[in-house]
Copies of this chain bind each other. A is one copy, B any other.
Amino acid sequence: MFYIIGLGLCDEKDITIRGLEAVKGSSRVYLEAYTSILMIQKERLEAFYGKELIIADRDMVETESDEILRDADKEDVSLLVVGDPYGATTHTDIVLRARALGVSTRIIHNASIMNAVGACGLQLYNFGQTVSLVFFTETWKPDSFYDRVQDNAALGMHTLVLLDIKVKEQSEENLARGRKIYEPPRYMSITQAVSQLAEVEASRGAGVLTPDRTLAIALSRVGGGSEERIVAGSLAELAAQPPETFGQPLHSLVIVGRRLHHLEVEYAEGFAVNKATWRDVASKVYGCALDG
């Protein structure tokens, strides 16, 4: 059996009992590299599982799937991934390859930001399509996400914005010289994300992301106990916060849509930079009927 096992959001204790049993019964256990670079250290996982882990970067998962799947028709092999196996990165290719090889696959689900985003207090029902925001460069500022946020906003829906991660980047010089030397991983922060949103709003100008009139909620390390940060405010308020307000990466951002229930406003108020302005924008701009 080939298992793809979601590790959940934070650390070694977020795996399910079913997942842990599969790991313990597997003859080889791969750890998707994104994972180890994020919040969970490989060594900590190995100690917890009592198993050695083989790092599999994205290239390996995509191009060397036959090695990962080797003998999985006769014994158990596991691939560990952060969040859920069907989160932002699906594992379609390797599952299709397993199918072609006649290897049975079992997915062991877990929380991912796609459902745990509910922690911000907004109803998951009212989220539209999810978008990604990539690191802008001097010459490359892809802004097609803006159209999608606008589509969601037109329907009153919230938008989950996933922020870019760069791992295994090469400098131009190293790339040119063919040196496999990689830059340290980079994670987009809320501060940078909000700044990029302002830049796109300035160029596109449809009023989808206005600093004082658009509410947003920043999330980091959801489910991570004392490391979790949820911060709500207008885009302008979020932009004005010192970076440490938002805690450690990964960060995600929710753009709040008009379809707001007063309980959602009240719930998220507990995370607000400024409760008064939060309520004020929710009632006056968003038209949400609030008490008092």
**Residue ranges of A at the interface with B (Cβ–Cβ < 8 Å):** 6, 8-9, 12-18, 20-21, 84-88, 90, 92-93, 95-96, 99, 106-112, 114-119, 121, 123-132, 151, 155, 157, 222-223, 225, 263-264, 266-267, 270
Q: Which residue of B lies closest to A111 (CB)?
A: B109
Complex interface: chain B residues within 8 A of A15 (CB): 16-17
- Closest partner residue, chain B, to A155 (CB atom): B151
Chain B residues in 8 Å Cβ range of A84: 111, 115-116, 118
B contact residues around A108 at 8 Å (CB): 223
Instruction: Find A264's partner among B92, B129, B266, B270 (CB 8 Å cutoff).
Output: B92
| B13/A13 in contact, CB under 8 A | no
B114 engages A111 (CB within 8 Å): no
Copies in the complex: 2
Is the Cβ of A115 less than 8 Å from the Cβ of B114?
Answer: yes
Interchain CB contact under 8 A, A119 and B86 = yes
CB of B121 within 8 A of CB of A129, answer no
Q: Shortest CB–CB separation between residue A270 and chain B, in angstroms?
A: 6
With beta carbons under 8 angstroms apart, the residue of B17, B107, B128 that contacts A119 is B107
The chain B residue with its CB closest to the CB of A132 is: B125
Task: State A23–B271 Cα separation when bound (angstroms).
Answer: 27
Tell me the complex Cα distance, A127–B17, Å. 29
A-B contact pairs, 13 of them (CB 8 A): A13-B16, A14-B17, A15-B17, A17-B17, A85-B118, A86-B124, A90-B123, A109-B116, A109-B119, A109-B222, A114-B114, A114-B118, A125-B130
Contacts A111-B111, A130-B124 known; A96 to B267 CB distance under 8 Å? yes
Closest-CB distance, A110 to chain B (whole angstroms): 5
B222 to A87, Cβ gap below 8 A? no
> How distant is A27 from chain B, measured CB to nearest CB, in Å?
20
Once the chains bind, are A125 and B116 in contact (CB under 8 Å)? no
What are the residues of chain B within 8 A of A118 when measuring CB–CB?
Answer: 84-87, 90, 114
Could you tell me if A18 and B9 are in contact, using CB atoms closer than 8 angstroms?
no
Contacts of A129 in B (CB 8 A): 125-128, 155, 157
Contact partners of A109 in chain B: CB under 8 A? 8-9, 14, 111, 115-116, 119, 222-223
Most-contacted residue by chain B among A88, A111, A264 (CB, 10 A): A111
